[in-house]
Amino acid sequence: MIALPAYLAGEVDRIGIKWISSFPRNTIVNMPRASAVPLLNDYETGRPVGCQEAAGISAARTAVSAAVAAARLVDGGAQSCAFVGGGVIARTILEYLPVAGVELSEVSCYDDDPASAAMLSSHAEARLGVSRKTLGTLGEAFTRDLVVFATTAPQPYVPADVQLRPGQALLNISLRDLPPEVLLGADNIVDDVEHCLKAQTSPHLAEQLTGSRDFITGTLGAVLQDRVTFTADRRPIIFSPIGLGVLDIAVGAFVLEEAQRRGGR
């Protein structure tokens, strides 16, 4: 029998908040874009029990949820995968895709900054032994089985008439690259409907364009419980996660417990 850590066994409950700051220009001087500080409190007493520098925790929870979604949404077999944006989040997703069971046949990257694109695909080859390709244009990314958006674009730039394939999967992690028209031609999975349809994300733009939320096929939670019916004509599938704070608290609490178990301070 495997002994679960107390947190996962439900013996320790935590609540908390996360403050995340995003400074895209940091990357110019080789600093990470995002810094995250969750404050963890005891559920019974409200006493603070932990304060962490948690950019890594935030990246890991984003990447794991994206990789789990990909594992459920892609067609079977090895996937050719294109990343649009090759920074920290792209690299972390790349590492977790095989862990979640997504076999990669090839990894490529398109980034406004060619050095970032080269770094991401070299990482794929060096760390995962997956063959890499250089993409000269954004359009080439859409010829791959799985397309991951992890840019810092503030508004859509992908052409509204971009051709997607039936069954092709897009992980819309940066949330503002795709115009609403692209979402309306696809099955759409989100992590939390209420939170995802805010702040001019692509799903929010689609809601404003159509005046309804009917374009949302379901949530990732429902997909994992086999409660989602995809459209019969097998459309492309777009996963748009806003990122759930509860996952930060869960992973942060796990990390804190592990650190305490190992005698860390």
Sequential DSSP letters for 105-158: EEEEEE-SSHHHHHHHHHHHHHHH--EEEE-SSHHHHTTSSEEEE----SS--S
Nearer to ligand NAD, 150 or 220 (CB): 150
Name the minimum Å distance from CB 141 to ligand NAD. Answer: 9
Cβ contact 83:109 at 8 Å: yes
What's the angle, vertex CA 14, arms to CA 11 and CA 17, rounded to 5?
A: 165
111 touches ligand NAD (CB under 6 A): yes
Using an 8 Å Cβ cutoff, are 70 and 125 in contact?
no
Query: Given the rule CB under 6 A, which of 43-51, 105-113, 205-213, 248-256 is the region that contacts ligand NAD?
Result: 105-113
Q: In which residue are the tokens 């990470």 written?
A: 32
CB of 91 to ligand NAD, least distance (A): 7
Q: Among 86, 179, 203, 252, indicate the residue that binds ligand NAD (CB under 6 A).
A: 86
- Which range touches ligand NAD (CB under 6 A), out of 43-51, 86-94, 163-171, 226-234? 86-94
Sheet order of strands, 79-84 included: 131-134, 104-110, 79-84, 146-149, 169-172, 237-240, 187-190, 216-219
Name the one range near ligand NAD by CB under 6 A: 121-129, 146-154, 211-219, 254-262. 146-154
Stretch that binds ligand NAD, among 75-83, 127-135, 167-175, 227-235 (CB under 6 A): 167-175
247 in contact with ligand NAD (CB under 6 A): no
Q: What is the footprint of ligand NAD within residues 20-49 (CB under 6 A)?
A: 24, 27, 33-34
Cβ distance 176 to 201 under 8 Å?
yes
- CA distance linking residue 178 with residue 205, whole number of Å: 10
> Is residue 148 part of the contact set for ligand NAD (CB under 6 A)?
no
Q: Which CB atom, from 4 or from 224, has the smaller least distance to ligand NAD? A: 224
| Of the candidate residues 40, 64, 84, 146, the single one contacting ligand NAD (CB under 6 A) | 84
Three-class secondary structure of residue 171 per DSSP: strand
- List contacts with ligand NAD (CB under 6 A): 24, 27, 33-34, 58, 62, 84-90, 110-113, 116, 150-153, 157, 173-175, 241-243
